[in-house]
Structure 1
């Protein structure tokens, strides 16, 4: 039996069972000059903060709505209440029982109608901010004919910020379905469809059930921590007297001089589902998901920092045998995090809101050739030369 002090220490380490934070994917953690705190701005309960080094989630305030995971461009936050796979499965079941209509409802509204709707026909989420385009498009690719998103009185709801996220997702989904010529309407409504209602009344205590589920999740997480502690103690790798491991402040740079890349799983699932739906029209689409990077060659100082910090390698460095250098841009991998815009020292980058729909599936790449850097690396003058190049002036002196 663990000592009380051990239990208190473990509880202090407890994270929200509803959200996993992948610090290495966060654009702000990767580069403090990035301009992104979308997760904190959209968080329906105010449980997310940034301490100057990493994202912090307060488990006692997190309601598990998953809105932060929807708005995060790099999936630095991963929702587990429910998981993406479980939510897709529940939506497929809803479509099967509702003759092609996927019905998803916000928790507060459905809790009020707990004895009047069929839980298999109407999928419950804490907030509609949990619904994203990859979920909807997967449903469309698997034969669903429409999506019905049920919400309560959002103006009076403590978690009203999730509504704005849901509306933006609906707009993006409609733009994609129009480009792909797929009749898949997505509508927001306050009414539970008649076909989703129960034919007989079922009595149960919804609040008590929710409390038991939440308590079970916290207990499972605490149990996992206890098990990890016990194993580490048995193997001599830690325990009560072990010094806490230092917090990793920096992400390791790879051999090519860039930070590690990661294309979000949700983005890959979305592209796979769009491919299943066929070829889109040759049109441009403006959505919250993709951007097209435009680099002004006259202003660019060839530092390639945009590629160094790009989280998905949508911007990638190249160097030809003849010494030609530059950056390749693949719009399909761009997650519109705008890190490149924020950190460019010469303001040479602009992110276009529109991309060609066909480019998203074809993986088209744009090449930006850059002027050679007049810098000799590994010399006492390297920093001075870099400063002159980045500031575009020779009025920088060594002392």
Structure 2
């Protein structure tokens, strides 16, 4: 796996008016022993790729489809073409205009139909890979009857990986809607419905587009200015304002790296809560995992809690000397960092989570045992923990 410095350089290249990069959230930046490559596996344009040995980024290939942001479990990549708020607003406008049916179409198909469909009725995204479960759940919570994802010739499209991501999202959404008792359906269609044909007045539809355009232009200008400073001074804009900029963000007072629960996850849980109580069944989706720790094998290093990006795993220490980690399934984004970095191979991620646990904020507690430290042994837990804490910190952009 590439070094942290290399990862920082690669991921930083993705920053553009289309994508904001939050490097401190990236599992690979937080810990080089993590193995998440979902952005590369799903990138629809070849901008991010992995050949089995090296990860590479070609910014000029980015089409702003946002598929990488959809599949990133920690939301280290944030899409702006459109942004989440603008996408939600446009989808709600579409649902209202179509009397309960939200239409979302891929850019390739809608470009061919330019001028012949009502922009108020159809939400345009560069690729359907931009759609995520939180958007679909919010539409369901508002009473939408159906969501139609309108696509072009996906098998022949050079960006067909985006369709794979969209299908995974639709599969997950279908399970959630069924468990939460929502009647809303989500389906793909290769054609625009007849009622979406262009009407005479499009002012309302253009209003949302103009709002997003203003935000997009402002962001583009800021990025251009920042890069001009870099070109002139050979450093980042923030670094130029400081004599000795910090190289990394230190661990927090509790000995863990900073945490961030994606807004998308919170919106999804809020939407599901609005739908009511779920069936008392297991949920098996791409979104959540249930951390299971073999306490007999556990080395008690608590590194899983140190590097957990969302604080789904946290440390605890009771007054009686009991210590260990707690796991909250609702906050787990299934990045699998804990599983990958555990020095004792004591962690396994269960694919299934109880639906009721997601809404109730249930927490599992794993008590750990003090372990003897043998400094003369090169592969002791002390050596492993010390090495990981020293080398795997969150670097600033």
- Please report the TM-score for the alignment, with normalisation by the length of structure 2: 0.82
SS in 2 for 1:24: helix
Taking structure 1 as reference, are residues 249 and 172 closer, same or farther at Cα in structure 2, changes over 3 Å only? farther
Q: Distance in 2 between matches of 1:241 and 1:93?
A: 46
| Structure 1 partner of 2:69 | 69
1:340: Cα distance to partner?
Answer: 0.7
Whether 1:329 and 2:314 are equivalent positions in the alignment is no
Q: In 2 relative to 1, CA 121–247 (structure 1 residues): closer, same or farther, beyond 3 Å?
A: farther
Mind listing any 5+ residue stretches in structure 2 that lack a counterpart?
Answer: 1-11, 203-208, 385-397
Shift in Å, 1:46? 1.6
Deviation at 1:249, TM superposition (A): 5.5
SS at match of 2:174: helix
The 5-angstrom pairing of residues 192-341 of structure 1 reads: 192-198=192-198, 220-221=218-219, 223-225=221-223, 240=232, 245=239, 250-341=248-339
Runs of 4+ in 1 over 3 A off after TM superposition: 12-15, 55-59, 199-202, 214-223, 225-230, 238-251, 383-392
SS at match of 1:60: helix
- Residue in structure 2 matched with residue 8 of structure 1 by the alignment: none
**What corresponds to 2:142 in structure 1?**
142
Distance 2:287 2:337 in 1: 14
**Is the CA contact (8 Å cut-off) linking 1:16 and 1:57 kept in structure 2?**
no
Partner residue in 2 for 1:94 = 94
Q: Return closer, same or farther for 1:149/1:215 CA change in 2, 3 Å cut-off.
A: closer
Map of 2:391 onto structure 1: none
Return 185-194 or 20-29, whichever deviates more. Answer: 185-194
* 1:198, distance to aligned residue in structure 2 (A): 2.2
Residue number in structure 1 paired with 2:176: 176
Q: How many angstroms does 1:250 deviate by?
A: 3.8
The Cα shift of 1:195 comes to 1.4
Q: Does residue 156 in structure 1 map to residue 150 in structure 2? A: no
Q: What count of residue pairs does the alignment treat as equivalent?
A: 357
Q: State which structure, 1 or 2, has the greater radius of gyration over its C-alpha atoms.
A: 1
Relative contact order, higher structure (CA 8 A, sep 6+): 2
Change (3 A) 1:76 1:56: farther
CA deviations 1:357-381 (Å, max 9, x no partner) are: 1111110000011111324xxxxx7
List runs of 5+ in structure 1 lacking aligned partners.
1-11, 203-209, 233-237, 376-380, 393-399
Q: 1:239 to 1:287 in 2, by over 3 A?
A: closer
Which shifted more, 14-23 or 181-190?
A: 14-23
Q: What is the SS of the residue equivalent to 1:95?
A: helix
1:93 is paired with a residue whose SS is helix
Q: 1:13 to 1:61 in 2, by over 3 A?
A: closer
Secondary structure of 1:119 counterpart: coil
- Report how far residue 100 of structure 1 moved: 0.4
Q: Is the 8 A contact 1:24 1:76 kept in 2?
A: yes
Cα RMSD of the aligned pairs, angstroms, is: 3.2
Distance in 1, Cα, partners of 2:363 & 2:216: 45
Contact 1:287 1:354 in 2 (8 A): yes
Q: Which moved more, 1:118-127 or 1:249-258?
A: 249-258
CA contact 2:69–2:78 (8 Å) conserved in 1: yes
Answer yes or no: is the 8 Å Cα contact 2:74–2:335 preserved in 1: yes
